[in-house]
Structure 1
Amino acid sequence: MNTLSYGLLSFLSRSSCSGYDLMLQIQPFWPAKHSQIYPLLAQLEKDEYVQYEHISQSDKPDKKVYSLTDKGIEALREWLSEPASDPVMRDDLYLKVFCMSLVDSNTARNLFINRLQHYQQKKLKFDNKLPQLQCMTGLPPDEIPSFDSPFFGAYLLLQKAISVNDANIKWCEWALEQIASPAAEKRDSVE
């Protein structure tokens, strides 16, 4: 099985879902399209890792709601015991930063301003998600879910996302300061 297959099993370990719901849930972790998810679900069902219930809907097309089988749970446990692969990072901003000395400081500044706005919008979303997660756990705001809680992993991931996003905001702000430095302005005036 590929990583996306295990990702689908991961989300199904929390609750039964339709293929569409799985696509929405996995997006923050792994960019996957309908064209990838539905064939994988069919294969997982064929291999008996998942099963589905056919749900009739009067106002929409019928849907399949998938759930994990015992075989799927066992496969997920085995996968969890394996070391994770190296993280993959692709961001065209990094390539642009690498050669940004080819453009004027206003163009470079705009790249960072746009990215900073993106991270600030994400921060607003995270600021809403943390209280929602705390509310779902039923714990006081300053208490972390226990390891055996189904919310523990989500809490860890949300804290990681917040930390990375905060670091990205600081980096963008720092880069903007560097672009506004006298050395950068001097270069612009020479050109």
Structure 2
Amino acid sequence: MGLEKFKETISDTRKARILAAERYKKKENFYHFINIYYAVFLVVLSIINLNIEDPTGQLAQTLLIFSILAFTFSIVIYSLNLKEKYFNFKNNYIALSKLYSEIENIDNSKVAEYQLEKIKKEYNILLETCENHDELDYYNYIYFQKREKYNKKNEFKKIIIKSKIYLNIVNVISIKIILIILPWLIGYLLFYIKDSLEGLVNLF
């Protein structure tokens, strides 16, 4: 791999990992918000449960089910290690920035060949010490930030890249909406289903 090509490889990897770090940071911030949101919802539900009569036990059931859901959600989010992944990618792209600065100072001398091999080894070590960024991180980079690289792809590949990017955007937005409306949906379903079942029982 030539000097200019290797410089481009380092730059592309660095930019993709910046996007990966930002993605994990946004995920962590959103899930932190959801944890707080669910906690507030539980507190409000508990206060309501203490201050009104609940002869059917529907409110207590909703409170119990949602408490289990919120607890499970917090365990799942904790197990994802989002903050750790964010810092791993951040440290990695900072190290790649230093490598890029080093390679920019290389000239065409014999010493430069030795320096280039040394930097390549360091680059490979950095790749091994951090999980790889997602394919979508790279696609987002070339589509939104390095359009000339995207434009060099054949038309079929362009369609694939564009489809994956926008499907991911729709997927992320959908998950956020579901997590926000979930407590209200659970409450509604519990009340609606129970009332419907009681109505069917009364018919017989």
Task: Judge same fold: TM > 0.5, yes or no.
Answer: no
**Which structure features the higher share of strand residues?**
1
Q: TM-score of the superposition, structure 2-length normalised?
A: 0.32
TM-score when scaled to structure 1?
A: 0.34
Tell me which protein shows more helix as a share of its residues. 2
